[in-house]
Amino acid sequence: MVEVAKNNEIIGMTNEEIDLIDLFKILIRNKVLIVGIAVLVFIVSCVGAVVVDRSSKSARAIIGYNYDGISAGKSPDGSAFSSSEIVDSIILNRVYRRYPILKREGFTTKDIVAGVEITGITPNDISKVAEVSLKRGEKFMYTPSDYVVTLKLTGDNELDRNILNTLLTEYTDYFAFKYNNNTVFPKMELDKLGGYDYVDRVAIVRESVIQIMRSAQGLSGRGFISKQIGYSYEDIARFLKSVEEIDLGNVSSRIAIENVTNDPFGRELVLKNQIRELELERKRLMGTSEVLERMLKEYKPEGTQVLLPSLGEGLKISTEEDYYTDLLDRYREANTKIMEINVDIKERERVLSEIRAVSDAALDTVRKNIEETINKLNNIIDDVNIMNLEYTNQYYSDQIRVISPAETVGGSKSKFIVVMGLVMGLILGSMAAFLREFWKHLKEK
């Protein structure tokens, strides 16, 4: 019995070996069919991998912000921060104009917006703190300083990378222009003031001084001292104050005292118009004064409601004494204004009478004083522009940067698809070979 069992086992093993040999022979006989099907499936999988690769890949870059307030969700100017400013319409239009192919292919700026994805990068320690706070039921606010910007638009990996790099370049330029404080003040040009009268020239220079002084005062108190010129903004404001009060003040006084003008006929016309307007105002006030004087002389208390038609308003008073006092105050005010107008008229008449008596020496002195003042102001403007650039480079030059330029990411499934296609091709080829042999065997029977 033992020997019979051993013989049966040997026979079974022999049969298995024979079956494996037969299977191998089948595969060898149908190798062309197997290889053909495998190649066909491999080609199809390669095409599919290319399609999947193009659709799954995208351009990715990293941009970072570095300024006080970003973690609190603030922009450099204190307004609310928004990463969506990356796709601001101004920036999109610039990028769209840089790539005419987008228009030819039917893409719009809206398509660019739809293809851009912006994701904040939150450090692990911040994530843990946020998780703990949320578990406690506490609110946790945090604005990331670094962002991943992804673009999937045309399907052309190189084109998408170029578009994304251009988008971030335009954005960083826009951000720097919008938020930095590098104000460049233009220098005063004496030749451009030649068409103005001397009074107007002084006014133009004074306006420039005031504008620069306000800017310097706005940057004062921050402890900034220029390493190049050694001044602070407080020093600049003090220099400009001196120009306004002393230099321009002296020129204005000389122009007023000596009645200096480079357009006597125009000056004469202006003075005559001013005198005419003052005379009309004086006439109106004199009429008001006469009415008030007559009301004071004819005053008779008749209640607490009095109407003064000449003044065009009703006066509600509590006592008769208040009414009389109010009339008297109005009368005094009108007469005071009349006296002031008389003084102004006499002064303008004096200037008008002397308008043609300006000496060449006085003109030369005023011209020289204005030129010296402008030169002094231009030297200060040079210092201010140097300081502003130095201040901007110190506090704002690194407020935004592209940490990692655009690169193509994704497409990891393509290799898997190719390998699986090759494997499936071999399996399908083998199955086809077995089916072929099975069909032959059926026909033989």
Q: Does domain 58-180+400-409 have CATH number 1.20.1070?
A: no
- Given this model, what pLDDT does residue 300 score? 55
Which stretch of DSSP H or E encloses residue 103? helix 100-104
Q: Which of 42, 43, 44, 30 is nearest to 431 (CA)?
A: 30
Q: At 412, phi and psi to the nearest 5?
A: -70, -20
Q: pLDDT tens-digit profile of 363-377? A: 889 999 999 999 999
Q: Is the pLDDT of residue 304 over 50?
A: no
Highest averaged pLDDT of the listed ranges 269-273, 313-317, 387-391: 387-391
Amino acid, res. 153: L
Of 415 and 82, the structure prediction assigns the larger pLDDT to: 82
Q: How many CA atoms lie within 13 A of 245 on its CB side?
A: 7
User: Which tokens in the block code for residue 124?
Assistant: 């692990």
pLDDT band at 230; cut points 50, 70, 90 = very high
Q: Residue 81: is its pLDDT beyond 70? A: yes
Per-residue model confidence (pLDDT) at position 11? 40
Give the model's confidence band at 415: pLDDT under 50 very low, under 70 low, under 90 confident, else very high.
low
Q: What is the pLDDT of residue 170?
A: 92
CA distance 63 to 150: 11
Closest to 243 in 3D by CA, of 219, 209, 198: 209
107-155 tens-digit pLDDT: 999 999 999 999 988 877 777 776 776 777 677 677 888 999 999 888 8
The pLDDT of 439-445, averaged and rounded, is: 68
> Cα–Cα distances in Å, from 41 out to 37, 51, 300, 440?
6, 15, 118, 25
Q: Quote the CA–CA distance of 194 and 290 in Å, as a whole number.
A: 48
Mean pLDDT of 288-304: 74
> What span, in angstroms and rounded, lies between the C-alpha atoms of 351 and 272?
10
φ, ψ at 148 (rounded to 5°): -90, 125
Domains in the chain: boundaries: 2-52+413-444, 58-180+400-409, 183-261+360-395, 265-357
CATH topology of domain 265-357: Helix Hairpins (1.10.287)
pLDDT at residue 444, rounded to an integer: 66
As a whole number, mean pLDDT of residues 313-326 equals 59
Residue ranges with strand state E in 263-389: 305-308, 313-316
**Across 64-78, 345-359, 374-388, least confident range:** 345-359
Prediction pTM value = 0.50
- For 149, the enclosing helix (H) or strand (E) is strand 146-151
pLDDT, tens digit (0-9, with 9 covering 90-100), for 13-49: 444 444 667 667 666 777 777 777 767 877 776 766 6
